[in-house]
Structure 1
Amino acid sequence: MTSLSTQVQAAPVGHPAYSQTFPCEPETAEAGRKLVRDALTVWHLDDFADRSELIMSELIANAARHTPCSSIRLVIGRPSARQVRIGVVDRAPSLLPVLSLPDADDESGRGLFLIDAIADRWGYDLHGSGRRVWGKEVWAEILVEDEP
């Protein structure tokens, strides 16, 4: 597994965001949690780290379990001062996430259900255009400030 070898640094322009590519395997969750925690520390949003780390872990687990991809791109950004967006980009645009309630005795299948419960909003975006869609990003957002 690849590890974080560089410190998280603030983006010089636009909305701040951090991303890094890793193998599409469950063990990547550890690096994903570190990326999230490092970014939130830079943004002075440590209070949101536990929830954000859990979201990243679940998104990675879903990609590793439900896509044939060999690598994924982990993304954490601030689309606005009020939001943090956590996402995982893969190259399996035809395998879209579906929220379903697992049976009580199911041993898995709760990832999106958990994300739906702790995120303020979640969804996916396709990457590419027309017949050249090459991937998707499954993301979740949390609000980090109250509205003025």
Structure 2
Amino acid sequence: MTQETCVARKPWDLAFTAEPTEVAGLRRVMRLHLSIWGLHDLIDDAQLCVSELVSNVITHLGPGTPATLSVSMNGVHLRIEVHDPDTRALPTLLDVNADSEAGRGMALVDAVAARWGVQLCLDRKVTWCELATGLTSPNGHVEGPGVQRAQDLLEFYGGAKPPLRLASGQVGRAVAEESVIEVITDFLHWLRAHGCDVDEVLDRAQTRYEAGLDGYGDGLSCCSRT
């Protein structure tokens, strides 16, 4: 398994009516998709961008305006677009102070996004922004110490290399047990980074472990407390 083929992040879009009551729902949809995509660290910034881009439509075009939210990957950047039917009202970045109420939306987007802009089409306007993901490839995962160690272990197991033997004695067993706990923790990080349901995987592993006990009998008692 390589990092380049880990996570499929297919573009998606959602038509909506620009109303204040719709913003919370769009934020939830964004959170759900980014969780599935393993981009947990981007959720807050992405939700902020969605809120401000949609609020821009409501403010300048009025409630009830038909619009579309589109989300995709542009290389290793997360791209968020809001499409609306008006090609005249263009978002602008204003030089506003801390007390200003107007013009703050795009300033907030500008503060968290790597870049943003406006694309004019014949029948619509597309206001977009892109967030840096920290990915090494569009289908990869965000690196972290635990995730990388688990990846190394997967490659180790895949190579069918002989496992390390358990050290003898109580101290050796305690050290080995802590190492196993660390390995399991790393795999949980790896699963979360790939958008997997950690609880479901743990349940399946427990079921498989218990089913396998019948075949092993009492032979595996190295971690017994008795």
State the TM bucket, normalised to the shorter chain.
0.7 to 0.9
Q: Is the 8 A contact 2:93 2:103 kept in 1?
A: no
Could you tell me the percent identity over the aligned residues?
32
Partner of residue 115 from structure 1, selected from 109, 113, 127: 109
Greater C-alpha radius of gyration: 2
Aligned-partner Cα distance in 2 for 1:146–1:16: 15
* 1:138 aligned partner, one-letter code: T
Q: Does 1:77 align with 2:72?
A: yes
TM-score, with structure 1 as normaliser = 0.79
Aligned-partner Cα distance in 1 for 2:9–2:74: 6
Per-residue deviation, residues 16-51 of structure 1 (Å, max 9, x unmatched)? 211111111222211221221122112111111011
TM-score, with structure 2 as normaliser = 0.53
* Structure with more strand by fraction: 1
* Unmatched runs of 5 consecutive residues or more in structure 2: 1-7, 138-226
Q: Does 1:142 align with 2:131?
A: yes
**Deviating more after overlay: 46-55 vs 94-103:** 94-103
Aligned-partner Cα distance in 2 for 1:144–1:25: 29
Residue 147 of structure 1: how far off its partner (Å): 5.8
RMSD value over aligned CA atoms?
2.0
Per-residue deviation, residues 64-99 of structure 1 (Å, max 9, x unmatched)? 10114621101111122x110111100001111111
Count of equivalent residues: 129
Q: Is the 8 A contact 1:15 1:79 kept in 2?
A: no
* Structure with more helix by fraction: 2
Q: How does 1:3-22 map to 2 (within 5 A)?
A: 16-22=10-16
Aligned-partner Cα distance in 1 for 2:53–2:17: 14
**What secondary structure does 1:97 align onto?**
coil
Q: Does 1:92 align with 2:86?
A: yes
**What secondary structure does 2:80 align onto?**
strand
Aligned to 2:204: none
Q: Following superposition, which runs of at least 4 residues in structure 1 exceed 6 angstroms of deviation?
A: none
Per-residue deviation, residues 101-123 of structure 1 (Å, max 9, x unmatched)? 22443323200011111111000
Aligned to 2:35: 41
Q: Does 1:52 align with 2:46?
A: yes
